[in-house]
Chains A and B, each alone.
Chain A
Amino acid sequence: MISRLHLLRYVERTSVLHRADARTKVAALVAMVFAFSFNPGWVSVAIVWATLVLGLLLGRLPAGVIPKPPKALLAAMGVSMTFGLLSGGEPFVTLADNDIGLGGIILQTRLFAVTLGLLGLALLLGWTTKAADLPRAADWLLSPLRRLGIPTDDVIAALTLAVRALPLIADEVATVIAMARTEPKTADGIIGRGMGILATATVASVRRAGEFGTAIESRGMIRIPRTPGSWTGADLVVVAIAATITTGLVLAPS
C-alpha cells in the first residue's frame, strides 16, 4: 500500500521545545550530533535514546509521531544482521557444542542504534520546529563563515529549496513505486523494474529542481529574513539540557 513519509512534519503544540527558538534547537542538535558521532559507544547510544524519550515527553508528543519502518528497511536490516551473525568474532557463546561469535551482530546492532538515534534527533527537531524557521536558523549558525568568503547565502538557498522539495519528492517517489506495483508482469525483471522506478523518480526530482530554478530566475535568489528572533526562558531550558547531554556524550566511555 502507498504510505506517506513524515519528513520534517511539525506537530502543533505549545511545549517548551516548541517555544524555543529554531536557532537554539538547531545549535543544540549540531552539538549533540557532533559529540555522538565522535564517541558512538554503547553509553552514548543509551544517552541519545534517553534524550529521545525525554524529547517526546518534553515536547508532549504522542507515540503516533514515531514512523513505522517500511518493510523493505526491516528486511534489509534482517539481511544485514544475518551477515553480522555469520561474520562471528568475540565474544563467543556455546550453543549445542557450537561456538557462535557474537562480535559481528553486536557491532551491527550498535550501528543501527547509532543511525536510528541520529535520525530520531533530526525527527525531534522536525516535530517541534516549523520547517519555515529552519533556513533562518541555518543562516544564523553559518553566518560566521560569511566573513571567510564562503557563499553561505547560496548554501542557505539550496537548503531552503531542499527542505521545501523533500516532502514533494518523497510523495512522488512513493507514487511511482505504488503505480509500478499495479503493472502486469514485465519483461524487465526485478532489476529492470527497479531501474525504471529509479529513473522515473530521478526525472520527478529533476523536474522539481527545474521548477525551483525557473522560480529563482524569475523572482531572484531566495532571501532569508535576518530579523532576529527573541530568546525566551524556553531557550535557556533547551541550552541547559543540550549542554548536559553533550557533556555526557563527550565524557562517556567509548
Chain B
Amino acid sequence: MEIEFSAAGHVYDVKTPWAARGLHPTDLRIHGGDRVLVTGPNGSGKSTMAWLVSGQIDPSEGSVRVGDGPASASLRSIGFLLQQTRLQILGTTVAAEADRFEMDPRRYELALQSLGFDETILPRKIDEMSLGQQRKVALAGLLARECGVLVLDEPLAGLDKRGIQQLVAAVGALPRSTTVMTITHDVDASAALGSRVISLSEGRVVADDVRKDDDSPT
C-alpha cells in the first residue's frame, strides 16, 4: 500500500492554549512495498508521523492517504507496533491473544515461530514476559494479520542480539507488497529494516536519502 502525505501537518491540541506543533506541512510519498526508516532526535516529529500513518490521528492540515483513501479509513489494514507494547496486547496469555482473533490460528503460530517462539510460549502470561518478548508477541499478531502497512516504533529497543536478528528476519520475510515504516533513533542498528532514510528535525523533513550498501555498518 502506498502512503502519501500532501501538505500534511499536525498541531496537537489545536485551538487550545496548549497547542503544540508536532509536524509542519509535509509532502512525502512512500511507494507500496518500500522499507523506510524515519529518524530524528526527540521531539522531531517521528511519532507524530507514525500516528498519522496509523490513522489514529487526523492531520490538522493537508491529508495523509494510505492506499486508496485517508489513513483513518484504513485502520484495520495498518499494523502499528507501539514502543509501549503492553498497551496493545489485550490478552492475558499468548494463547488468549491468539484465540481473540477470528483468523487461522496456524498463521499466528507461524508468525510466532518466525520470531523464535515454539508452542511452549502459548500458556505464558504476558505480564511475566520481558519487554522484548512482549514486543515479539505483539509483532506476531501484526504479521499474522497480513497488514498492507506496518509501522514499527523503535522495534529493536529492549531486544537482545538474537531477538534483533529474529525480528529483522521476520520483517524481511514479509511479502514485498507490505510497506514498512520503522521509527528509530539508531539508523545504523536498524539498517536491515530499510534502506530509505527520512530524517526529521523540529517537525520538518530535513533529509530523504537512500542508503547505499557500503553505508551499512560492517
Contact = CB atoms under 8 A, between A and B. Distances in A.
Contact of B102 (A4, A61, A185): A185
Interface in A3-39: 4, 6, 9, 11-12
Interface residues of B, number: 34
A65 B75 CA distance: 30
Contacts of A172: 84, 87
Contacts of B72: 1
A175 B82 contact: yes
A62 interface: yes
Interface stretch (A92-100, A134-142, A143-151, A191-199): A191-199
A204 B127 CA distance: 10
A6 B16 CA distance: 10
Contact of A187 (B13, B15, B17, B102): B102
B78 interface: yes
- Chain A interface size, under 10 / 10 to 19 / 20 to 34 / 35 or more: 20 to 34
Interface string A71-84: 00000000000000
A58 interface: no
Given A1-B72, A184-B145, A200-B89, A12 B57 contact: no
Given A182-B56, A182-B76, A12 B90 contact: no
B90 A6 contact: no
B13 A4 contact: yes
Contacts of B57: 1-2
B51 interface: yes
Interface string B88-106: 1111100000011111000
Contacts of B76: 182-184
A203 interface: yes
A90 interface: no
A200 B101 contact: no
Given A6-B18, A12-B17, A187-B99, A182 B91 contact: no
A182 B80 contact: yes
A203 B93 CA distance: 13
Given A179-B80, A181-B75, A2 B56 contact: yes
A62 B15 CA distance: 9
A64 interface: yes
B86 interface: yes
B13 A186 contact: no
Given A183-B76, A187-B99, A200 B17 contact: no
B60 to A, nearest CB: 11
B58 interface: yes
Contacts of A2: 51, 56-57
Interface in B47-99: 51, 54-58, 72, 75-76, 78-80, 82, 84, 86-92, 99
B91 A196 contact: yes
15 contacts: A1-B58, A2-B51, A2-B56, A11-B17, A65-B17, A172-B87, A182-B80, A183-B101, A184-B145, A186-B102, A196-B91, A199-B92, A200-B89, A203-B127, A207-B86
Pairs of residues from A and B, 4 with the lowest C-beta to C-beta distance, nearest first: A196-B90, A64-B16, A179-B88, A186-B100
